[in-house]
Structure formats: C-alpha cells, structure tokens
Amino acid sequence: MRAIDFFCGGGGMTCGLRQAGIEVVAGVDFDIDAKETYEANNEGAKFIHADITKLPLNYFEKEMNIRRNDDNLILVGCSPCQFYSIIRSSKEKSKASKDLLLQFQNFIEYYNPGYVLVENVPGIITNKETVLYDFLSFLEEHGYGAPKSRTCKYEVINMKDYGVPQSRRRFSLIATRLGREVHLPEKEANEVTVREAIGDRRVYRRIDAGHRDTNTTRFHSAIQLSEINLERIQHTPHDGGNRLEWKNDRRLQLKCYRGKDHSFCDVYGRIFWDKPSPTITTKFLSYSNGRFGHPEDDRGLSVREGATLQSFPWNYEFKTARLEVAAKLIGNAVPPEYAKRLGQLILEINR
C-alpha cells in the first residue's frame, strides 16, 4: 500500500506508517523548516514544499505516477488546527487553517483513494464554524460511508491509550470506499509513563538548563532559564509539584496569578514520573508555558525528551540548530506510535 501525507510537518505520521510497512511516497507541507528533517528520516518519501491551495490536483499523477481510483492508495490529512484549538491566541491569525480540510477534500475527490485518514484537534467537532460536517457529507456522497457507519469511523481519542507516553486528546478518522468494515485501533490496558519513557538516566542523563548537546543526533538540549524562573523551579517539589508551592513568596509569585490558586495550576509545574506526560505542544521546551518542568532536574524538558514523549524513535534526527524549530516540528506531529497502529490496522483490513 502507498500513502501521501498532506500537512506532513516533520514526519510523525509518515514515520509511523512506514514502521507499519506502508510505503509513503510523499509528504506535503508549506513549512520549509520541515523539509530537511522529513527527508532525512523518511527515505524514499519526497517532501513537497507547497501551499495545498495552489498545488495542482494532478501533481502526483503527473510527477509521481500516482493512479486515480487506486484501492491501495491512502490519503492522509492532518491539517494545521490553530482555528479549532482551545489554546489559540488569535482567531484572526488562525483563520487560514479553518478550511484546509476542504482543500484536502479536493485531492480525495480527484484521486478517489481506497482509504482516507484524518487527524485533528477535538475542537473540530465542537467549534460552531467547523467544516467537519461538510467534509463528512462529502465522504458519504463519494462512497466512503455515512458518519459512524461500518466504513467510516471517527472518535476523539487519547494517545495515552495507544502506547504513547502522553495525554493527548485528538480527533481521529478512518474511512474506506471498499465496503470493508473499519474501526480505530484497539486501546491498550496499560499506559506508558514518563518514567518508562525518559527515566533511564544512562540515556536521558542529568543536564542543566541551557545545556546544548554537541551530539546533533541525540539533541538532549534544554533552553536557558531566567534567574527568577530557575529559583521558581528550585522551589517546586520534584515529581509533579506546581506553582502553588511558592504562591506566598512575594518575590517568586507572579502578579497575574495572585488570588488565582485554582486557575492554570499546571503552568510552572513539573511533570509526574509515573503518569503519561501532559500534551507536548510546540512550546514544550518552555517551563513557563505549561507543566513542562522536568520531574527532577531544575530545567524544562529537552528536545529529545519531548520527541520521546511524542514516541519518535531515538534515531529520528531533527535537522535544525534552532531548538524552537525542533520543538515546533515535534509538538505539531502525529505521534508515530499511533500512526503505526493506524497503518497496521489498514493493512489488516485490506487483506
């Protein structure tokens, strides 16, 4: 089976599908920062730097010999989700991402693949301006089945139920026009914890805030903390402590949180060892942007720790010298472990 990964970013979905045994022929993304990382880790998959709204529908047919009406073709659409995300900062700025699912729909109509995969934030279901239901109607009209029929299934799932050491709620859809019954991957009984993922100190060794790893493959690098933030994390108990521990210290307490002991308690917190991590966002390197403090070390997470919590393989290289770019590629990715399970599922269904 072959797949094209739209909005591929640094290659999380591509990586997982390839681990399952599916050939990914191309990834499409407008973010040029993703190109080198995507191609370095996914041999044989071509990175197409393009705006999907301007990419000719017949591009893959002409340039890559992709056939229309191919039962063994999978089109994957994990479009940027800022418009539907609960953590977006500017609705106007994020509007460009609102209709990307419908742009992806045009390629489904043209190629008529055997399978369609979609991943997005849960808000794509509940947002009043969502295009999801137009997309679901399109799938039904084109033979992929009515929403939640035997050939089209979608659900809001949590990645921690699928071998990913992270609590990450996402919308996931699988549909086929081949008349075969589909479902989402089976849940695991046990969750993978932070300790199991990054607790081995021989691998994820102790480092200080601001440490830069000279081994670019390993990338166990963490950003510098300001003097006041270093004091804050030093006063935060190990293994899940939060900012309430220093709320009565007038020097350490932030004015914006005074009298707000029940709001945003994860901010400036440490991750728990024996639970899945919080959602790894594009800001996971920053101690002040969520519960991203290391369980023991007085620092935020490293690039490699965030990648591991997203289930990227150890040998997956992030081809950039800029920590914030690596964090963006990691935080925006579909966890490869979940993508692998989707790929394995499609291979089983297609036998």
pLDDT 10s digits, 234-270: 999 999 999 999 898 889 988 877 877 777 778 899 9
pLDDT 10s digits, 282-324: 999 999 999 999 999 999 999 999 999 999 999 999 999 999 9
Check if the beta carbon of residue 3 is closer than 8 Å to that of residue 116: no
Whether residue 256 lies in the annotated active site? no
Check if the beta carbon of residue 270 is closer than 8 Å to that of residue 243: no
CA-to-CA separations, 219 to 140, 171, 323, 332, in angstroms, rounded: 45, 30, 9, 18
CATH number of the domain at 2-186+335-349, please?
A: 3.40.50.150
Q: What local confidence, expressed as pLDDT, does residue 264 receive?
A: 75
pLDDT 10s digits, 174-188: 999 999 999 999 999
Q: What local confidence, expressed as pLDDT, does residue 142 receive?
A: 97
The arithmetic mean of pLDDT across residues 122-147, rounded, is 94
| E strands present in 103-181 | 115-120, 152-158, 169-176
pLDDT 10s digits, 32-81: 999 999 999 999 999 999 999 999 999 999 999 999 999 999 999 998 86
Q: How far is CA 298 from the centre of its chain?
A: 26
pLDDT 10s digits, 139-168: 999 999 999 999 999 999 999 999 999 999
The CA-based angle 10-12-18, given to 5 degrees, is 115
CA-to-CA separations, 324 to 6, 61, 283, 328, 342, in angstroms, rounded: 23, 36, 8, 6, 29
The fraction of the chain above a pLDDT of 70, given in percent, is 95
Check if the beta carbon of residue 5 is closer than 8 Å to that of residue 76: yes
Is residue 202 pLDDT above 80, yes or no?
yes
Record the pTM: 0.94
Is residue 197 pLDDT above 90, yes or no?
yes
Check if the beta carbon of residue 55 is closer than 8 Å to that of residue 104: no
Is residue 134 pLDDT above 60, yes or no?
yes
* Catalytic option among 8, 15, 78, 81: 81
Q: What local confidence, expressed as pLDDT, does residue 254 receive?
A: 85
The CA-based angle 80-52-153, given to 5 degrees, is 55
| Packed helices 12-20 and 336-349: angle between N→C axes, nearest 10 degrees | 40
Check if the beta carbon of residue 151 is closer than 8 Å to that of residue 144: yes
Query: How far is Cα 52 from Cα 309, in angstroms, rounded to an integer?
Result: 30
Q: State the pLDDT confidence band at 91, using cuts at 50, 70 and 90.
A: low
CB-CB neighbours of 163 under 10 Å:
18
Q: What local confidence, expressed as pLDDT, does residue 51 receive?
A: 95
Q: What local confidence, expressed as pLDDT, does residue 84 receive?
A: 43
Mean pLDDT of the chain: 93
